[in-house]
């Protein structure tokens, strides 16, 4: 797997971890934000894996 794809997946895992931490603290707005970011980054990783890294936009 290309390193760029692994990076997107790692970024997604980090956002999920932040969502888990936020839910324990009752910071529900932050839970939603980090969960959405995790999904977006995972999709970017999947697109990069399927279509090549040039097909994925570079904003996080």
What pLDDT, on a 0 to 100 scale, did the predictor assign at position 54?
Answer: 60
DSSP 30-53: HHHHHHHHHHHHHHHHHHHHHH-G
Tell me, what's the pLDDT at 13? Answer: 99
11 close to 60: Cβ distance less than 8 angstroms: yes
In this predicted structure, what is the pLDDT of residue 1?
84
Task: Please tell me whether the overall predicted TM-score, pTM, comes out greater than 0.75 for this model.
Answer: yes
Residue range 2-60, pLDDT digits in tens: 898 999 999 999 999 999 999 999 999 999 999 999 999 999 999 989 987 665 555 55
């Amino acid at each position: 797997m290309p390193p760029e794809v692994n990076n997107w997946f790692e970024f997604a895992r980090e956002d999920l971890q932040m969502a888990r931490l936020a839910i324990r603290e009752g910071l529900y707005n932050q839970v939603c934000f980090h969960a959405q970011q995790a999904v977006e980054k995972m999709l970017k990783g999947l697109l990069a894996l399927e279509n090549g890294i040039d097909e994925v936009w570079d904003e996080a």
